[in-house]
Amino acid sequence: MAGQDFSTTISTDRTPQEAFAAVVDPRGWWSEHIDGATAEVGDQFTYYYMNDHRCTVELTEVVPGRRVVWRVLDNFFSFTADRTEWTGTDIVFDISETPEGSRLRFTHVGLVPEYECFDLCTKSWGFYVAVSLRELITTGKGRPNIRTADADLNQAPVKSVLGTRGAARS
């Protein structure tokens, strides 16, 4: 539905080029559980979080200092009836210069209130963009999911957000 896609905006005192450099480094703000290239048109990467969420993303547009667009090629959620809800959606980062530095508008085109994951996904994107990405841009250190040898170490955050629905199953 037009106009109902999830969107959030942050402002920083950093340049658009610094904001862009952070966006194309999702291991620094989203998750260290990302495999593949993340900076140029045609690059593809896979994000995964335990057995709860996996997606493959392709960069379809990259304008240095201005814009990055990711297309979700495939998606798996363990906690929704339609496990592929994100498939075919676009994740857009629009960056503009401001007198104070830069503004970054994040839009997940296709992430709409009708999606079962909408509440959880918008809360998660809110944290990753407004906190983790912002901190990566402004301080050089974000708060991504940490890659661990034992994925069960990450279980507590999933349970706190999803309750038992997102818990790993034996």
User: Over 90: is that where the pLDDT of 20 sits?
Assistant: yes
Beta bridge partners of 6: 108
With respect to residue 47, please indicate whether it lies within any of the assigned structural domains. Answer: yes
The secondary structure of residue 43, as a DSSP letter, is -
Q: What is the mean pLDDT of residues 139-151?
A: 84
Q: Which residue range is the domain that position 29 belongs to?
A: 8-161
Is residue 54 one of the residues assigned to a domain?
Answer: yes
CATH number for 99: 3.30.530.20
Structural domain includes residue 170:
no
> Could you give the number of structural domains in the chain?
1
On average, the pLDDT of the chain sits at 89
Q: Are 67 and 95 in contact (CB under 8 A)?
A: yes
Considering the domain boundaries, does residue 154 fall inside one?
Answer: yes
Predicted local confidence at residue 170, as pLDDT: 30
Read off the pLDDT band of 3 (50, 70, 90).
low
| pTM summary value | 0.86
Q: Residue 165 above 60 pLDDT?
A: no
Say how far apart CA 142 and CA 52 lie, in whole Å: 22
